[in-house]
């Protein structure tokens, strides 16, 4: 069973004006929660099933708090990049901060007030478990054979007869274009090994 991984970063920015008593500097708070999503797929990538997501271990410092003077993309990039160590992500965040500040200041007459910018960067690590599948071309003979065999179908992991066990369809996985069937519990147990 192969395992493949990918990481996605979802960036969102919120902003609000700070009261005049807070001083002249803008404030930036970046939070970086992490999560893991486990996914099962067949080797052809035709059938993808999410097994759910859960929080992952946070970075050593999940919060970045900065104070800064002005909203220029290069200036903000230079402030953010040493904390994130990722050129593309730092550029994306600094560009979004500048756009959000421009939107907020164009909507209000208080363009001289400092802003508080909140940035959420959710990192999702997707873990794909690729299950082998003996796929065959679908022909009328094979369809009839599969229908006849379905009455004596066994779990491909534990080999228990599925009809005799009394499990309902919600507890059984069937891979697309594949004759194998699996109990949900057996799949979960084999993935956790």
Domain residue spans of the chain: 2-128, 133-191
Ramachandran region of residue 52, left (φ > 0), alpha (ψ -120 to 50) or beta?
A: left
Count other C-beta atoms under 10 Å from residue 52's C-beta. 8
Q: What is the mean pLDDT of the chain?
A: 78
pLDDT band at 142 (very low <50, low <70, confident <90, very high): very low
29: nearest Cα among 121, 95, 105: 121
- pLDDT for 51 equals 82
User: Of 167 and 72, which is predicted with more confidence?
Assistant: 72
- pLDDT for 103 equals 87
pTM above 0.85, yes or no: no
Judged against a pLDDT cut of 60, whether residue 155 lies above it is answered with yes
Ramachandran region of residue 166, left (φ > 0), alpha (ψ -120 to 50) or beta?
A: left
Segment 66-86, tens digit of pLDDT? 999 888 999 999 999 999 889
- pLDDT for 140 equals 46
- pLDDT for 176 equals 59
If you average pLDDT over residues 106-118, what whole number do you get?
Answer: 76
> DSSP 3-state assignment of 172?
strand
pLDDT band at 159 (very low <50, low <70, confident <90, very high): confident
Judged against a pLDDT cut of 60, whether residue 151 lies above it is answered with no
pLDDT band at 112 (very low <50, low <70, confident <90, very high): confident
Judged against a pLDDT cut of 70, whether residue 99 lies above it is answered with yes
If you average pLDDT over residues 109-132, what whole number do you get?
Answer: 82
pLDDT band at 139 (very low <50, low <70, confident <90, very high): very low
Say what percent of the chain tops pLDDT 90. Answer: 24
If you average pLDDT over residues 145-149, what whole number do you get?
Answer: 49
Query: Using only C-alpha atoms, what is the Rg of the chain?
Result: 26
Judged against a pLDDT cut of 90, whether residue 169 lies above it is answered with no
Name the least confident of 70-74, 141-145, 176-180.
141-145
CA dihedral 183, 185, 187, 190 (to 10 degrees): -140
């Amino acid at each position: 069973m192969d395992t493949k991984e990918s990481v996605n970063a979802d960036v969102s920015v919120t902003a609000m004006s700070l009261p005049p008593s807070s001083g002249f500097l803008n404030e930036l708070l970046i939070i970086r929660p992490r999560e893991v999503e486990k996914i099962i797929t067949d080797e052809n990538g035709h059938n993808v099933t999410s097994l759910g997501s859960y929080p992952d271990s946070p970075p050593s410092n999940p919060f970045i708090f900065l104070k800064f003077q002005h909203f220029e993309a290069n200036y903000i990039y230079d402030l953010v990049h040493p904390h994130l160590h990722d050129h593309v992500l730092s550029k994306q965040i600094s560009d979004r901060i500048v756009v959000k500040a421009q939107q907020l200041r164009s909507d209000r007459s208080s363009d001289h007030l400092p802003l508080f910018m909140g940035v959420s960067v959710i990192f999702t690590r997707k873990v794909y478990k690729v299950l082998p599948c003996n796929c065959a071309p679908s022909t009328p003979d094979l369809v009839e054979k599969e229908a006849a065999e379905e009455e004596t179908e066994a779990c491909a992991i534990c080999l228990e007869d599925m009809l005799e066990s009394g499990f309902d369809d919600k507890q059984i996985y069937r891979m697309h274009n594949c004759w194998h069937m699996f109990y949900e519990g057996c799949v979960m147990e084999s993935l956790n090994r």
